[in-house]
Amino acid sequence: MDENKAYVTQATMEKDASARVVRVALVVVPETAPAGLYSLLEVFASVGSVWELFTGNALGEVRMRVDLVAETQELAYCAMGVPVEPDQTVDSAGRYDCLIVSDLFLSADFDPRGRWPAMEAWIHSQHADGAIVASVCTGALLLAETGLLDNLEATSHWGAVPLIQKLYPRVRLRPERVLALAGPGQRIITAGGASSWIELALYLIAHYCGRQEAVRISKVFLLGDHADGQLPFAALTRPPAHTDQVIEHCQRWIAENYDVANPVERVAAYSGLHARTFKRRFRAATGFSPLEYIQTLRVEEAKFLLESCDLAADDIGAEVGYADSASFRRLFKRLTGVTPSRYRRRYQRIGRVES
């Protein structure tokens, strides 16, 4: 398997045989800036598999196969002299579900007209075959040159706005937007400044793979607002392996009963061990005290509910075992760094576009 397809385990390869595959093409031209190109490659190649490596949870049902597509198969050097080895050319590439033109490095005298005739024709044919066509930042210039943006709303980096207005007056620029969806079926998407590849990537992952996978990817790569530090991105990591069968049975009991009253006392009784012995063996096996373990599971479930439903935060607290809403909110902020309402705002926006 190609080394660019990151985070591959044996379990991933076995799962890949039955997973649905979304084919993504990243357009490579001599002006392509490498940071956005390779960031998109790594993030998309990690869909459906990377979450399992960190948390031990089930692999996703969808993969994204990513190809770098250029006009020729020769080793290319994109902006700043960074080498790029294309996977496909415009002549060899098959049909893609989505293709993206990442940001372009512009010189002072940059003129996009007539620069990429073969790539323009290929992009047109892919769009005609049903692909979503997207751009990041100044990549909108290539899409504008194809004519696909004519009479449609689009966005780009603010610094490219005067050039687009001058050369492509039919494009209806909305530079205040981070993402602009346009055309029949909203199959033409433009993203604003260079870092807006993040919003585009999460939108496309949510579109093809579901919002839950987009949220997972945002947490793994810390994609989003960092003002509250790293805690809002964290999730319960893969539990350490151990051979204590009594504690393993207790972990299963907790997974099904973490929301009950007095869970520590009840699981200790379930174990059949003396309370002090139970707590010692539980920490030795899991790295957590029983109370820490239960609190972490409760907050993980609360996070999922905040991400995926509109139930009030106090009701979610009760759902995971906290009748006292103040206690729930204090615990939630201690473990995640933010309040439940702030957490909800952060993750419910993923995969959604402001109109």
76 with 218, same domain: the answer is yes
DSSP 8-state class, residue 137: G
Q: How confident is residue 15, by pLDDT bands cut at 50, 70 and 90?
A: low
Cα–Cα distance between 335 and 234 in angstroms, integer?
Answer: 9
- The pLDDT value given to residue 209: 95
Task: Among 167, 202, 224, identify where a domain stops.
Answer: 224
Is residue 178 located within the same domain as residue 257? no
Q: What is the CATH number of the domain that holds 209?
A: 3.40.50.880
Domain boundary pick from 224, 256, 273: 224
Instruction: Centre a 10 Å sphere on the Cβ of residue 74 and count the other Cβ atoms it contains.
Output: 10
Regarding whether 167 and 48 lie in a shared domain, the answer is yes
* Same domain membership, residue 268 and residue 198: no
Are residue 55 and residue 147 in the same domain, yes or no?
A: yes
Burial class (CB in 10 A: 0-12, 13-18, 19+), 161: middle
Number of domains in the chain: 2
* Structural domain contains residue 355: no
For residue 280, being part of any structural domain is answered with yes
317 assigned to some structural domain: yes
C-alpha triplet 187, 60, 337: angle, nearest 5°: 90
In a domain, 243, yes or no: yes
Which pair of structure tokens corresponds to residue 347?
Answer: 């993750």
Same domain, 71 and 157: yes
218 and 306 part of one domain: no
Read off the CATH number of the domain in which 340 is found: 1.10.10.60
Write down the mean pLDDT value for the chain: 91
Please say which residue of 177, 202, 224 terminates a domain: 224
How do residues 151-192 score in pLDDT, each as one tens digit? 999 999 999 999 999 999 999 999 999 999 999 999 999 999
- The answer to whether residue 49 sits within a structural domain is yes
Whether 78 has a pLDDT exceeding 60, the answer reads yes
Q: What residues contact residue 11 under an 8 Å CB cut-off, 6+ apart?
A: 52, 59
The tokens for 25 are: 């093409």
Which band of pLDDT confidence, cut at 50, 70 and 90, is reported for residue 355? low
For residue 20, what are the β-bridge partners? 62
Pair 282, 318 in one domain: yes
> For residue 111, what are the domain limits?
10-224
* 249 and 170 within one domain: no
Based on the fold, state whether residues 330 and 214 are members of the same structural domain. Answer: no
**What pLDDT shows up at residue 6?**
41
255-284 pLDDT, tens digit each:
999 999 999 999 999 999 999 999 999 999
Same domain assignment for residues 83 and 175: yes
- % the chain with pLDDT above 90: 79
16 lies in a domain?
yes
In the block, tokens 């993040």 appear at 198
Q: Are 203 and 279 part of one and the same domain?
A: no
Determine the angle formed by the axes of helices 263-271 and 290-308, rounding to 10 degrees: 120
Whole-number pLDDT of residue 10: 42
| In a domain? residue 4 | no
Structure-model confidence comparison of residues 56 and 307, the more confident one: 307
